Structure 1
Amino acid sequence: MISKEFSEKIKGKRIYLEKHKLNSASLMYSVIKQNRDYLAEFLPWVQYTNSISDSEFFIKTTHNLWQINSAFEYAIYLHDNKQYIGNIGAINVSFENESSEIGYWIDSRYSGNGYMTEAVKVLEKYLFKNGFIRLEIKCDPDNLKSKNIALKRKYQLDGCLRSNYIINDTRRDTLIFSKLNTD
């Protein structure tokens, strides 16, 4: 049976995931602001994050989604210095179908060090341990870093949603990767 009780902190070897706190909104906004061009290439929400208030709204929304068991969003921190480096979440959660999507982003200064791969591993293991059967990662075909994380974690490419969203006035595709608890 799938558990609806999510831990507010999940530990990895080099990183840990912690449920967002409202008082971290300014830190989150600062990282988004510093990485605006880097993140905006593939993440449509970046254009709507223009103030600390926007990050506060995001955190409040994630708390509401947490309460109704719809999404479980975490900040990612380094163990050694407690540095905030990005976000990861179980989103589009379906307890009925025992499935969830994993969404994430990272501060560009910490990209390429395996931190996000570890964060995905930690969250995926937690989800499978708690009864989830299927996990998905969705990304733009040109988002090679995200695509490579899915492949490193042995997700299978299920298919491509052609021309299914618009970002930066350009129609884009979405790759859908999945992993089962039996893989």
Structure 2
Amino acid sequence: MNPIMLDVPLQLETERLVLRAPHLKGDGEIVNEAIRDSIHELKAWLPFAQELPTVEETEINLRNAHIHFLKRHSFRFLIFCKDGNDFIGTASLQGIDWNIPKCEIGYWIHTKYSGNGYMTEAVKELAHFGLNYIKFRRMEIKCESTNVKSRAIPEKLGFVLEGILRNDDLSADGCNLTDTCLYSIIK
């Protein structure tokens, strides 16, 4: 089956969260505000956060994410609290290989919402959605070995640490070699 024919919902819900695809326009401001508020924490781990993007750059990024969602190249979800509708971060199914089929889960959280289990809840929903609805046979989470907060999520959710790839990548700032933890869950 051609993946473009998949009927993928634009919104998922958990007990406390709403995960929805980026709108065609208008999400740039709230996402940019979260990046701005969280830049010091995000900068350590994410290449896109080395410089603060403008609202327009964030809007462009989200419009492209919307297009990728429709084309089934990746599925980025913006995460909101059900109570109050506060934006708390993003989680994505990315790096999709439809031949296997498999993907990688990526995520980041607004600093002020960190430590409440929101991202674990969102990733749990995406893993369930990916394995049981889209029918991925393998889902991966990759993160730097020193990113303890990011590593805690796949470990809590029963992903298997397949290995630590030594000198596998560059740090977010491009200055140092880093080790990458490779976690997976399979169906």
TM-score grouping bracket, smaller chain normalisation:
over 0.9
Three-state SS of the structure 2 residue aligned to 1:136 is strand
- TM-score of the two chains, using structure 2 as the length reference: 0.91
For the structure 1 residues 49 and 95, does the alpha-carbon distance in structure 2 shift closer, same or farther, using more than 3 Å as the test?
farther
**Structure 2 residue runs without a partner (length 5+):** none
Pick aligned residue for 1:180 from 164, 167, 186: 186
Residue matched to 1:170: 176
CA drift of 1:64 comes to 2.2
Map residues 1-183 of structure 1 onto 2, 5 A cutoff: 4-21=6-23, 22-130=25-133, 131-166=135-170, 167-168=172-173, 169-181=175-187
Comparing 57-66 and 143-152, the one that deviates more: 57-66
- TM-score of the two chains, using structure 1 as the length reference: 0.93
Aligned length: 181
Three-state SS of the structure 2 residue aligned to 1:13 is coil
Report the Cα distance in structure 2 between the residues aligned to 1:115 and 1:10, rounded to whole angstroms: 14
Superposed CA deviations along residues 105-149 of structure 1, whole A, max 9, x for unmatched, are: 001111111100000011111111121111100101111111010
Residues 85 and 110 in structure 1, CA contact (< 8 A), matched pair in contact too: yes
Residues 21 and 69 in structure 2, CA contact (< 8 A), matched pair in contact too: no
CA drift of 1:42 comes to 0.7
CA drift of 1:53 comes to 1.3
CA RMSD between the two structures: 1.5
Report the Cα distance in structure 2 between the residues aligned to 1:173 and 1:154, rounded to whole angstroms: 21
**Structure 1 residue runs without a partner (length 5+):** none
Residues 39 and 52 in structure 2, CA contact (< 8 A), matched pair in contact too: no
Report the Cα distance in structure 2 between the residues aligned to 1:177 and 1:55, rounded to whole angstroms: 29
